[in-house]
Amino acid sequence: MQDGIALEMKGISKSFPGVLALNNVDFTLRAGEVHALMGENGAGKSTLIKVLTGVYEKDAGQVSVGGKTVNFKSPQEAQAGGVGTVYQEITLCPNITVAENLFIGRARDPFVKWGDMNKRAHDILDSLGIPAVPRQQLSSCSLAVQQMIAIARAMDMESSILILDEPTSSLDEGEVRKLFALMNDLKGRGVGIIFVTHFIDQVYEVSDRITVLRGGELVGEYVASEMPQLELVSKMMGKDLDDIDKIKDMQVAREETGEYIYEARGLSSDAGVRPFDFHIRKGEVNGFTGLLGSGRSESIRAIFAADRVTGGTVKIKGKKLRIDKPIKAMKSGIGYLPEDRKADGIIADLSVRDNIILALQVMKGFFRPFSNAEAQAFAEEYIGALNIKTASSNTPIKSLSGGNQQKVILARWLLTHPDYLILDEPTRGIDIGTKVEIQKLVLKLASEGMSVTFISSEVEEMLRTCSRLIVMKDRRIVGELRGDELTQNHVMQTIAKGVSADA
């Protein structure tokens, strides 16, 4: 590892109306290192990144890149100054070629030399070992390759500093490997990489150093290899954390005798799930697991009629019902927290209050709106109960952090007092403190008699909370695990052994 300082930020402060988002934060990035920036939601990670790249103007402090003091006014300026950024959402154009994406908006003369461009693109892809062809349409590449092309684009603009903001959140395990290989390669070339992520395991895999922020303040900078994982978590949370272990104790082995709350036979939808049988008992917590694309989300969407239901019979508490619209599912006591919070969950511009009351309001009916006082009371009740951090119930939900947005959506469904609550990835992209809170809440609700289906891509979370796991592969159920079988090993084996219908 080289010792050259690539980036130095000193005494950075930034305040927004009502909040001091960064308070005198220092951050140092050396050339040729991967430096993880960690903290819970609202800790100030993204504010720090945005101050660096010129999205926000800092109130105080100094930034120097390669020893020279800089003050970027926009991401473009930052890019020109050698600071490249790759965001969580891929910001390329899917309908043009890889080469065009690499060079778009960067031509100096008005004519495009296609031959040259494709050749240069080929060289870049080759040198970084990215498995893509210049003339290929971007949309035909996998998400990981697209992410890598975004990195290549940032790198080709001769960046000495590369910021990766949650680059792995939409990638599967194999894709993450490829991305890490690329990161290591860049590191070897002396690029300083700032790695922002929620996945602690990944931090340990690639990072040399870790800087932890909490509540807008610097907690400290640590060498990754000298920092035990548990201590890192407690640094982020600001308290010692045995909470995760306590969850396991909360889970009571449930006798499988409760009445069936929901029962489906041969259920299928136009999202491409093969007809499946499923049931859940009163007070049970179960989960669907499987690799990305195994159909776990599609299955539960079929239960809620989020996609068009194409077949099957459904019984609610033993009574046969036709559920072909979300409103019917809601009225039969089913709540559904969707996987993609931004696209399917929040109504971004509406207030926290409107977002909380929405589902119950729709169930109550178009002609029977809640009075302001009622709505306010509901909102305040759940803001308190779930400890939602918001300036007021009138704040637009989009200005809340991811974890708090998720709590608002959770509040929305809890307010409808469902018998059966479906939670698809409620813990994705949110800080570990909130993750623990949500898992605890799930177990508490179950102990009060609610049935919950809980899905998470982190298998440990499901093993901790579910008493029964349904394993999916290739859009069909390949196994069911309960009791002693609930181990990571068993899940893997079931997936591996599962008979693929396409095989």
Q: Which residues contribute to the site for other proteins (CB under 8 A)?
A: 15, 18-21, 23, 41-43, 57, 215-217, 304, 306, 325-327, 330, 336, 338, 343-350, 354, 358-359, 361-363, 365-367, 369, 383-384, 387-392, 394, 396, 401, 412
Determine the residue type at 301. Answer: R
Q: How many CB atoms lie within 10 A of CB 24?
A: 14
User: What angle (nearest 5°) sits at the alpha carbon of residue 64, between those of residues 60 and 65?
Assistant: 145
DSSP element (H, E) containing 250: helix 243-250
Query: Is 389 or 440 the residue whose CB approaches other proteins more closely?
Result: 389
- 43 versus 452: smaller Cβ distance to other proteins: 43
Distance from the first to the final alpha carbon of the chain: 47
- The closest alpha carbon to 187, from 227, 223, 151, belongs to 151
Smallest gap from residue 314 Cβ to other proteins (A): 17
Backbone phi and psi for residue 2, each to the nearest 5 degrees, phi listed first: -85, 165
Strand partners, 37: 196, 211
Nearer to other proteins, 55 or 117 (CB): 55
Length of the chain: 503
Closest to other proteins by CB, 75 vs 258, is: 75
Q: Distance between CA 301 and CA 417 in Å, rounded?
A: 19
What is the token pair recorded at 281?
A: 């008992």
In the complex, the smallest distance separating the C-beta of residue 299 from other proteins, rounded to whole angstroms, is 16
Q: Which is nearer to other proteins, 110 or 384 (CB)?
A: 384
User: Taking the complex as a whole, how short is the minimal distance between the CB of residue 380 and other proteins, in angstroms?
Assistant: 8
Distance CA 98, CA 101 (A): 5
Nearer to other proteins, 257 or 371 (CB): 371
Element (H, E) at 453: strand 451-455
DSSP assignment of 67-115:
TEEE--SSHHHHHHTTEEEE-SS--S-TTSBHHHHHHTT--SSSS--HH
- In the bound state with other proteins, the residue whose beta carbon lies nearer, of 18 and 483, is 18
Q: Which is nearer to other proteins, 25 or 151 (CB)?
A: 25
CB of 417 to other proteins, least distance (A): 15
Rounded alpha-carbon distances, angstroms, from residue 474 to 295, 340, 479 = 7, 21, 12
Q: How far is the CB of 345 from other proteins (least distance, A)?
A: 6
Signed CA dihedral, 16, 19, 25, 29: sign only = negative
Min. distance of Cβ 348 from other proteins in angstroms?
A: 6
Least Å from the CB of residue 367 to other proteins: 5
HSE toward the beta carbon, residue 398, CA cutoff 13 A: 6
Determine if residue 266 is left, alpha or beta; phi over 0 gives left, psi from -120 to 50 gives alpha, anything else beta: left
Query: Whole-number minimum distance, CB 210 to other proteins, in Å?
Result: 21
Residues 227 and 236: their CA atoms lie apart, in Å, by 13
> Smallest gap, in angstroms, from Cβ of residue 304 to other proteins?
8
Tokens of 223: 């060498």
How many beta carbons lie within 10 A of that of residue 417, not counting itself? Answer: 11
Supply the minimum distance, in Å, between the C-beta of residue 218 and other proteins.
11
Pairwise CA distance, residues 290 & 475, whole Å: 9
Cβ proximity to other proteins, 21 vs 471, nearer residue: 21
278 bridge partner residues: 264
Q: Which two tokens stand for residue 327?
A: 């409103």
Site of tokens 């109130």? 59
Residue 61 or 396 having the CB closest to other proteins: 396
The residue (of 184 and 392) whose beta carbon lies closer to other proteins is 392
Q: Which is nearer to other proteins, 23 or 406 (CB)?
A: 23
Minimum distance of other proteins from residue 143's CB (angstroms):
20
Q: What type of residue sits at position 166?
A: E
User: Judged by CB, which is closer to other proteins: 337, or 445?
Assistant: 337
User: CB 329 → other proteins: shortest distance, Å?
Assistant: 8
Q: Report the distance separating Cα 138 and Cα 94, nearest Å.
A: 5
At its nearest, how many Å lie between other proteins and the CB of residue 57?
8
Q: Which residues pair with 450 in a beta bridge?
A: none
